[in-house]
Amino acid sequence: MSKVRVEKVQELMKQEVSDIIFNELKDPRIGFVTVTSVMCTEDLREAKIYVSVMGDEKKARDTLNGLNSSLGFVRREIGKRIRLRFTPEISFALDTSLNYSDHIQRLLNEIHEEEPDGKKEDV
């Protein structure tokens, strides 16, 4: 299957899953969630949905548990909204790249503050 088609399906799935989570899921465990990306296999049989969760580690775990308990519903909704020969098997995973980039930014800011005023360099 063409790489362009896979990328288009991934982007469409990202939009649809975001809409499903925001408008359809009523699980109280699911907090403020952002779908950051969707990665599909070349044959579009499997899709891994990466989500970012606002809050601490416990909130992220609870949200991921809520999302995992609604896998069947989300998959069925994807099947209704996107015309594919096979509806992909989906799984949710936490996207920690935003937390990591925030951590790196804080470290850079600390280093920048520790430098003497005369030796500050642009980062």
Shortest CA distance to 34 belongs to which of 63, 58, 4?
Answer: 63
Q: Report the mean per-residue pLDDT for the chain.
A: 89
Cβ neighbour number for residue 53 with a 10 Å cutoff: 23
The tokens of 16 are what?
A: 């649809």
> pLDDT tens digit string along 41-84?
999 999 999 999 988 889 999 999 999 999 999 999 999 999 99
* pTM of this structure: 0.77
Which domains can be identified in the chain, with CATH numbers?
Answer: 3-118 (3.30.300.20)
